[in-house]
Amino acid sequence: MSTNNPVQDRYNPPGLGTEFEHCRFSDIPVHELFWLSDDMNFTLNVPYRKINETQGQNVKTKEILNVNDRAHSYQKI
């Protein structure tokens, strides 16, 4: 005989998915924020600001990163 567990009876809707949109680095306007991954762990996935057509700057550490214009990037929706 099966038992009814009220904890398991609640409705668990599917997740909304990611809040990031995939794009190329060249498609991002200068001075806009972008991420290098769509990982939701914000301690590992830090934002960068595009400072010119070939470089981005880490918002937290101010480190400059050279980025290929065809590199996969993500922006928040």
* Cα distance between residue 65 and residue 74, in whole Å: 15
What is the number of structural domains in the chain? 1
Q: What tokens does 73 get?
A: 């990037």
What residue numbers bound the domain in which 59 lies? 17-76
Question: Which amino acid is present at 30?
Answer: V
pTM (whole model) above 0.85: no
Residue 26 lies in a domain: yes
Q: What is the DSSP string of 3-26?
A: ---GGGGS--PPP---SEEEEEGG
Within a domain: 40: yes
- The structure tokens listed for 44 are 């590992």
**Would 4 be classed as within a structural domain?**
no
Give the model confidence (pLDDT) of 22-62 as tens digits: 999 999 999 999 999 998 888 889 999 999 999 999 999 99
pLDDT at 66: 97
Question: What's the pLDDT tens digit per position in 2-17?
Answer: 677 776 667 666 666 6
Q: Answer whether residue 66 is part of any domain.
A: yes
